[in-house]
Amino acid sequence: YEFIPYTILGILAGLTAVLFIVSIYKSQDIFDALPFPAYLKPALGGLVVGLIGIFFPHVFGVGYESMNDALWGRDVTWLLAVLVLAKIVATSATLGSGGSGGVFAPSLFVGAMLGALVGVQANHFMPGMTANAGAYALVGMGAVVAGTTHAPISAILILFELTNDYHIIAPLMTSCIIAVLLATYLKKESVYTMKLVRRGINIFEGTDINLLRGIRVKDVINKDVEIVPGNYSFTELIRCMIRSHHQEYFVVDRQDKLIGSISIQDLKQFLKDEAYLASLVIAADIAHPPLARLYLDDNLDLVMHHFGRYNVDELPVLDGPKTQILVGSIQRKNVIDAYNREVFKRDLAGGMHSVVTAVSKERTVELAEGYCLVEMDPPDGFIGRSLKQLNIRARYGIEVILIRKPTQEQEGIPNRPGAIPTPEYAIQPGDKLLVLGNAKDIDYLQNRKGR
């Protein structure tokens, strides 16, 4: 039964921690908005703390004496409740106005008062069945610290070192973990990381092991899909299949809501009965319900799970759970391309070396939609002329990244990236140009003869 009040303490500690975090940064916003000179704002914060201290001097300083009284159960119930709020307001006014201070000691103070308050009530309703109020004050200190910092293990270890009593571990772990779970659910950022987030700093950026979690469906959606009205006849479906290059056909109703999909393989099964089915079957009759419904804000990690689970290459994308309107599709190839691009961005130097090496093997590597890296032989009209004279970028919209010289192949180093050319470099016979640009522009240049 004793774990019941400790559970309640954990819940209250989580709520108090969130209140503490919100009040600190709300106070900062309030003081920032005041039309006072910056040097006067700490004085105003000190005035607020002084007014509170007139009635409750316990909020001054670290509060060792007040915490000691709470641990020994000397404070009355109403005072404990008031001190929880008074310390939060005083700390928020100090930090929000630009004053110097931290949040660790105030968290201990607030936790001690809150824990003692719960302990007093637990002893009132469960006399002789639970520990004294001091034990709850100790657990409350750890729980509020854990909730404000989102660091339960640190709080547990600190309190264990302070007490050197293993009997406190079980209730301490219970309250701390509950407090952290509730606090993180209500407020994603801790009292420390909130300051960084407000400055636009994302401490988790670039640390994802699964890169696909950071890419949304809307970033790679394929709008070129074959949409078929649900009332299409079987004959119209066959005609659509003949003139289309798609493998999957998405069936929608009159409001563009997704009904299902039909694949080429599905249609092939009915071709032998085409004459019989032509006037009997419509698209909605043979459409398969969607195996998975993807939305614009879903991440690609979820998409890959669906691809692996259902063994398909294309899935529909809807605008939202309520409207269910088809807005496009996503293919397995889209996900793989997005992953490769993300890896390339995360490791630009290593990625560039990999791409250049791949070009030397495959001659062409696609980087993004419509753009690619190509290793090509220079047209005959380029030989003996400098890059400045040719003005390739302006005339063709193509950038010469590297030039491989035939001597590199002779030296037995075929994967060597080559040299970055200067504008005065004159193209020599046997040179290989590594160019970046639109695929159509590169094809045009490769097919040129002479100049």
348-446 CATH fold: Alpha-Beta Plaits (3.30.70)
pTM of this prediction exceeds 0.85: no
Give residue for tokens 């799970």: 305
Question: Mean pLDDT, the chain, as a whole number?
Answer: 83
For residue 366, what are the CA distances in angstroms to 30, 60, 438? 52, 65, 10
pLDDT over 60 at 24, yes or no = yes
pLDDT over 60 at 394, yes or no = yes
- Residue 366 has phi, psi (to 5 degrees) of -80, 130
Q: In the chain, where are the structural domains located?
A: 3-198, 215-337, 348-446
Across the strands, what pairs with 371? 368, 438
Token pair for 321? 């759970």
pLDDT over 50 at 85, yes or no = yes
At the second CATH level, the architecture of 3-198 is: Orthogonal Bundle (1.10)
Cβ atoms within 10 Å of 4's Cβ, excluding its own? 13
190 vs 273, residue with greater confidence: 190
Across the range 418-440, mean pLDDT stands at: 82
Check if the beta carbon of residue 329 is closer than 8 Å to that of residue 317. yes
Q: How far apart are CA 347 and CA 343, in angstroms?
A: 6
Q: What was the pLDDT predicted at 43? A: 93
266 vs 139, residue with greater confidence: 139
Give residue for tokens 């004294």: 132
CATH class of the domain whose range is 215-337: alpha beta
Give residue for tokens 């979690």: 213
Q: What was the pLDDT predicted at 361? A: 47
Q: How far apart are CA 367 and CA 437, in angstroms?
A: 10
Across the range 293-316, mean pLDDT stands at: 88
Q: How far apart are CA 212 and CA 208, in angstroms?
A: 9
Q: How far apart are CA 302 and CA 354, in angstroms?
A: 28
Across the range 276-296, mean pLDDT stands at: 83
Q: How far apart are CA 360 and CA 337, in angstroms?
A: 20
Q: How far apart are CA 347 and CA 261, in angstroms?
A: 39
* Structure confidence at residue 330 as a pLDDT band (50, 70, 90): very high
The two beta strands, 326-331 and 364-368, are unpaired
Name the percent of the chain lying above pLDDT 70.
86
* Structure confidence at residue 44 as a pLDDT band (50, 70, 90): very high
Across the range 331-336, mean pLDDT stands at: 89
Q: How far apart are CA 307 and CA 3, in angstroms?
A: 45
Token pair for 422? 């200067």
Q: How far apart are CA 437 and CA 449, in angstroms?
A: 19
237: which residues sit within 8 A by CB, 6+ positions away?
228, 249, 262, 267, 283
- Residue 448 three-state SS: coil
pLDDT over 60 at 282, yes or no = yes
Q: What was the pLDDT predicted at 355? A: 53
